[in-house]
Amino acid sequence: MFDEVVEEFLEYIDGAELIIHNAAFDIGFLDNELSRAGSQYGRMADRTTVVDTLLLARERYPGQRNSLDALCKRLGVDNSHRQLHGALLDAQILPDVYIALTSGQEEIGFGDVQAAAARPVAVTRFVAVAGERPRIGVHPDEASAHLRRLETLRKKAGRAVWDMAVESPPVVEPVPG
């Protein structure tokens, strides 16, 4: 039952930005569950911001089908493993749809998948714990590349949006091995 996990759920999403396809549908259900659990929990809008990929798709592709399957096909996102509709499957393909939908992300380095695959990867295992969310260390090479990319963007555009979104510089921790 939702009332058994409401505290843990709200702790997890507090202050987060959620990316949801057809957010009005999901947020409506969550708001209903929150109201049933008690008025002290408020509404989702009190705790998080939401980006609705369906609304983004309707702006970018007015008058076209903008289901998740249609977007996968249009944007070249592989959803061949998606046989049935399901929240977990949708959550697995939505990040790729979002990146493709918001476009221009190739320009800031997110589009070169093969180059990314060639870089060393730090593997982090997440364990659900009460308290602070886990912090992920950044490989020093990736941190340097990130800072170089920001400088390029600042020179090209006069500023980098990242500067407005980040209060402090990224945490750089050496990756063992």
98 and 148 in a single domain? The answer is: no
User: What's the rounded Cα separation, in Å, for the pair 62 and 76?
Assistant: 19
Kindly list the catalytic residues.
Answer: 85
Q: How many residues does the chain have?
A: 177
Q: How much is the pTM?
A: 0.57
Confidence of residue 87 (pLDDT cuts 50, 70, 90): confident
Same domain as 132, residue 99 = no
Q: Tell me: do 85 and 158 sit in the same domain.
A: no
The 10s digit of each residue's pLDDT in 69-85 is 899 999 988 888 766 66
Domain tally, the chain: 2
pLDDT of residue 127: 46
Domain extent at residue 81: 2-103
Please answer whether residues 99 and 105 qualify as being in contact, where contact means their C-beta atoms are separated by less than 8 angstroms.
Answer: yes
CATH number at residue 70: 3.30.420.10
- Residue 113 falls within a domain, yes or no? no
Domain final residue pick, 79, 103, 127? 103
Asked whether residue 126 carries a pLDDT value surpassing 80, the answer given is no
| Cα 165 → chain centroid | 15
Same domain, 141 and 96: no
More reliable by pLDDT, 138 or 164: 138
If asked whether residues 66 and 146 sit together in one domain, one would say no
Q: Are residues 129 and 89 in the same domain?
A: no
The answer to whether residue 114 sits within a structural domain is no
| Range 132-138, long-range pairs (CB < 8 A, 24+ positions) | 135/171, 137/171, 137/172, 137/173, 137/174, 137/175, 138/170, 138/171, 138/172, 138/173
Shared-domain flag, residues 55 and 98: yes
